[in-house]
Structure 1
Amino acid sequence: MKIIISPAKKMRVQTDIIEETGMPVFLEDAKRLHDILKAYSMEQLKKLFGANDAITRQNYERYQTMDLERSLTPAVLAYVGLQYQSMAPDIFTGSQWEYVKEHLRILSGFYGVLKACDGVVPYRLEMQARLPVDGKKDLYGFWGNRLYEELTADGDGVIVNLASKEYSRAVEPWLTASDTFITCVFGTEQEGKVRVRATAAKMARGEMVRFMAANGVKTAEELKEFYALGYRYREEYSFENEYVYVQET
């Protein structure tokens, strides 16, 4: 079983919690992207990011000085956002760390696929960025089916999707009939329908990762036992490959 989640835009350097870091499987591809981005001007980056001047300048300077093999932070600690705050990897127990190292994968426009303890540096590059690379018009074309192949390389074929559509889109087109791809949806019940609020859903996704790590979840059926933040699995709204959780009020 693999759990896929999205990265966060905001990142930090945190090198003093865990000494063990691995190297991203697609490190050479990240270096290729770095070479391209390093050659971009401030104006080109601003257009690519769709960001303000301060964020653009920060990341322009990052790309000018970036070393992808030094001062590395374990990926699951590097990203700062609601999902990661709810996951709270800073206080994982030893067994929870072992679980996420085996099962958790972070999808990234820059790094491709990251394991929890793969060493990363702060960057900005969303998967949906229209960055032409080696004849491909964008990052979806650049990565192709390689993220899917990496996720399913062990032959398991079970993927729990806790990623946003922007990132799951890099995997879903390549799924086969032998794969089990379960998307978890978190929402509230309104007039007989489930409404998803982005902020609350991000928090719930982080709580789901924590739940899975704390309970050593290994089967899809166990996902239905998730109960954090008032969410409960609701069979009447769910499908074979989409588990819906409704927040009780």
Structure 2
Amino acid sequence: MRIIISPAKKMKVDTDLMTSAQLPRFINESEQLLSVLQKLSYEELKALWKCNDAIAEQNMERICKMNVKANLTPAIYAYEGIQYQYMAAGVFQEEELAYLEQHLRILSGFYGMLRPLDGVTPYRLEMQGKLQGPGFSSLYHFWGSKLADQLQSESNCILNLASKEYSKNIIPFLSEETRFINCVFGQMINGKMVEKATRAKMARGEMVRYMAERKITDVQEIRNFDRLNFGFSEERSDESTFVFIQAEGK
């Protein structure tokens, strides 16, 4: 089984925490993208990132100085979004990290796909960002089937905890033999199930921690997930979609 999650926009550098285990598998592709980014003007980059001047200036400076093979932070510690806060990687034990290194994969517009201990440097490049370059019209086009092919070479069962922006670069390339399971984390509002982005991110992070703590290798076992007052909904789930409903008032 492989678990896929999204990256986060906010990143940090912490080269003292531990030594990066290895360079990302698609580091050559990252260098190609960096070359394209370095040729863009400030206004082009700001439009690509859809951000204010402060963020644009910070990330343009990063690009100018970027070395994707030096001063790296393990990916699982580098991202600081809500999902990663609830995952709480800083308190993982050695055995839990070993489990995640085998089973968890982080999708990325810049790095393609990362193992938790792959060394990364801060960047800003969402998968849906409108970046074009030699031979490609978008990042989805650039990565093509590479990420799905890599995943399927590792496992025929994929648990999707990633957002649609990232999972849509995997789904079209899956073979019939690959089992792909979506997790939905919802609340019942006026009799209808609603998935709220922030709570879903919290639950995804908690799910990763839950699986690491229990060293889960059979995807059926995640049906017992009960963090943040979520519970598995048998009637709303099927073989390809596991639905978890959060109790009211929580």
Which category of TM-score, normalised to the shorter sequence, fits these structures? over 0.9
Cα distance in 2, alignment partners of residues 21 and 65 from structure 1: 23
- TM (norm. structure 1) is 0.98
Number of aligned residue pairs: give it: 248
Q: CA deviation at 1:207?
A: 0.2
Counterpart of 2:94?
94
- Equivalent residue of 2:21, what SS? coil
User: After the TM superposition, which residues 132-151 of structure 1 pair with which residues of structure 2 at under 5 Å, given as runs?
Assistant: 132-151=132-151
- Equivalent residue of 2:126, what SS? coil
| Code of the aligned partner of 2:107 | L
Task: Provide Cα deviations, 1:77-102, integer angstroms capped at 9, x if missing partner.
Answer: 00011000000000001111011100
- Equivalent residue of 1:101, what SS? helix
Cα distance in 2, alignment partners of residues 11 and 173 from structure 1: 29
Contact (CA 8 Å) 1:21, 1:73: kept in 2 or not? Answer: no
Counterpart of 1:159?
158
Q: CA deviation at 1:20?
A: 3.8
Q: CA deviation at 1:106?
A: 0.3
Counterpart of 1:83?
83
Counterpart of 2:220?
221
In structure 2, the gaps of 5 or more residues are: none
- Equivalent residue of 1:21, what SS? coil
User: After the TM superposition, which residues 117-128 of structure 1 pair with which residues of structure 2 at under 5 Å, given as runs?
Assistant: 117-128=117-128
**4+ residue runs of structure 1 moved beyond 4 angstroms?**
none
- Equivalent residue of 2:198, what SS? helix
- Equivalent residue of 1:222, what SS? helix
Contact (CA 8 Å) 2:20, 2:73: kept in 1 or not? Answer: no
Contact (CA 8 Å) 2:20, 2:72: kept in 1 or not? Answer: no
Task: Provide Cα deviations, 1:177-203, integer angstroms capped at 9, x if missing partner.
Answer: 101101101010123321011001000
| Superposition RMSD in Å | 0.9
Identity across aligned pairs (percent)?
47
Q: CA deviation at 1:168?
A: 0.3
Counterpart of 1:8?
8
Q: CA deviation at 1:231?
A: 0.3
In structure 1, the gaps of 5 or more residues are: none
- TM (norm. structure 2) is 0.97
Counterpart of 1:61?
61
1:107 aligns with 2:107: yes
